[in-house]
Amino acid sequence: MTRATSLPDTVTILVPFRVVKRGGRKEMVLPDGAEQTRKPDNTLVKALGRAFRWKRMLDSGEFATIADLAEREEIAPSYMTRVLRLTLLAPDIVEAILDGRQGSGATLAQLLQPFPQHWQTQESAIG
């Protein structure tokens, strides 16, 4: 049995994409219309986990002030305050982050910046 046509030794496939930095790491972004499976951003997920854990510790009375908790965690109180603000994100934004569906602009650096208080306006501001 012989082949009618021979196969080339090399096959070249072109895939259009661009590389963007997110949270200190590089990530491929496919062009609009291309389906892309995303994984959760571990940096954002970890920050959300910390924020809600710290909030629970403060709410339970385990620590009286943010300064006390920050001292125990060995971090600056100002950083803790910025991370604690993540507990004020709209539930659909938190869910999107946990599912890896957050917008390309949703980086930890951006989320630590002040954002709108009202859930309805957060999505457009955070993207």
Residue ranges in the chain whose pLDDT is less than 70: 1-4, 34-37, 127
pLDDT of residue 68: 96
User: CA angle, 78 as apex, 53 and 116 as ends, to 5°?
Assistant: 75
Residue 112: inside a domain:
yes
Residue 90: inside a domain:
yes
Residue 24: inside a domain:
no
Residue pLDDT, tens place only, 113-123? 998 888 888 87
Residue pLDDT, tens place only, 44-57? 999 999 999 999 99
Instruction: Give pTM, 2 decimals.
Output: 0.69
User: Where in the sequence is the domain holding 41, given as residue range(s)?
Assistant: 37-126
pLDDT of residue 64: 95
Residue 32: inside a domain:
no
CB 91 within 8 A of CB 35: no
What is the total count of domains within the chain? 1
